Chains A and B, each alone.
Chain A
């Protein structure tokens, strides 16, 4: 059984078929790209995997567990981390606190430790802070730990988001258009970062991206979505020459 198995999921919004029979199997160490025009239901797939919505039909299995109907936060605990298309950093927390609060659900101290400096709290806080700094270092943002995230560049905010997802100890990492709004230099930095974390942590990565150069260069498998349906999937080469894909992107020849 694969690490992540998505089995024939469907999702409707009113009359709109946002996902029309999507399946995917991903194993540790693989990078899967999901591409397609706007409105093809890519982000909805992510939202369905992570439990923002539940699919109308079909199942999502992670590491042998059925996670289809779990609430969002439990799915994260099971091992799915994500970033967002439009960056969703927590305002009012520093960079370090942003990452640390994603560790907090694993932090083991009770409400007594919440209002008093108990030894337990001090130990757990130290553990959390060390881990946080470790992950900030992985994405190269340790130097910015005391900044307010909203003052950072887009590229750096993305990195904070990735660190925040990493500290959740995901088995599968979902990146939703990580290169959106980045400068060319930032894009190449980001590509290197994705390759690096994929190699170092050995989790499966699902990647939604509009920049075909980025997707084509780092994905092992590419799934092309259009109007909720998967119109092609395979390696970059296979997908590039698929007539259905060319039609979706360039329009049919008259």
Chain B
């Protein structure tokens, strides 16, 4: 049971960031290999504000998220006008720089030893509720005008602009949303684990999230959440597997990319209407489940 609660917390924290990646990658078609750096910013900034400035935890969370969004704006400003390739290249460089910065600012961050002694005030219920709220927010975002414009930009940027959509702004919105969510995941992480290490946030972690989103289905929030939950649960329960974790992930995703490029769920979303359609065999059932 204890293991289950631990794993559940891990899953919830992962899901918060996976939602951020879903907005960025699933909806808008941009790839960030520096998302984990925003998680690091969230974790360090909130942790430091509580430890060194004695701020209230919730205020620290809010400050960390606002700070991340601000940094995201600076990074995003030059790149949203350009081809979408640039965001991956620039964010990768950003991630490396943040990792260096954490080491350099060791009098604040604890350098290679990490930030020790963050109060462990986030429990499993807190993360669970947070995850549910974040998933709801993401679902609302998807069905809003923002979500539609994101999908339009992903599908055809030029045509989207011809329809009056300000593509740069849409890309910026999606990028900042994902910055906010991943840094919130970082806050949760810091206050759940009680420790923030400088090596926890490399590009591999960002790549992991992208892989989760693609595993479940890049066009489906349901799929992304399934991917995030499944690929977090799996290695925790198969300790033998943990060593081979990245290899197993990679092979799974390669198989999916080659043979079922839309992921496990395709475009299918969990909604009352779709469920009804799924369980009533008379009406023509959709193939894309």
Contacts and interface: CB of A to CB of B under 8 A. Distances in A.
A binds B: yes
Contacts of A125: 144-145
Given A88-B158, A92-B155, A114-B140, A73 B167 contact: yes
B53 interface: no
A52 B145 contact: no
Contact of B146 (A97, A114, A124): A114
Interface string A139-175: 0000000000000000000000000110010000000
A72 B145 contact: no
A206 to B, nearest CB: 14
Given A73-B167, A107-B145, A128-B145, A90 B159 contact: yes
A168 B164 contact: yes
Chain B interface secondary structure, helix, strand, loop or mixed?
Answer: helix
A193 B42 CA distance: 55
Interface residues of B, number: 27
A197 B156 CA distance: 26
Which of B147, B163, B166 neighbours the largest number of chain A CB atoms within 10 Å of its CB?
B163
Contact of A109 (B145, B155, B156, B166): B145
Interface stretch (A76-84, A216-224, A232-240, A241-249): A76-84
B196 to A, nearest CB: 27
Contacts of B154: 92
Chain A interface secondary structure, helix, strand, loop or mixed?
Answer: helix
Contact of B164 (A76, A100, A117, A128): A76
A50 interface: yes
B195 interface: no
Contact of A104 (B141, B148, B267): B148
Contacts of A92: 151, 154-155, 219, 267
B63 interface: no
18 contacts: A52-B162, A71-B161, A72-B158, A73-B167, A84-B162, A88-B158, A90-B152, A90-B156, A91-B155, A92-B151, A97-B151, A100-B148, A101-B145, A101-B152, A105-B164, A109-B144, A116-B140, A117-B140
Interface of A: 50-52, 71-73, 76-77, 82, 84, 88-93, 97-98, 100-102, 104-107, 109, 111, 113-117, 121, 124-125, 128, 164-165, 168
Interface of B: 137, 140-141, 144-149, 151-152, 154-156, 158-167, 173, 219, 267
- 4 nearest interchain CB pairs? A76-B164, A104-B145, A88-B159, A102-B163
Given A50-B162, A128-B145, 5 more contacts: A72-B162, A76-B162, A90-B155, A97-B151, A100-B148
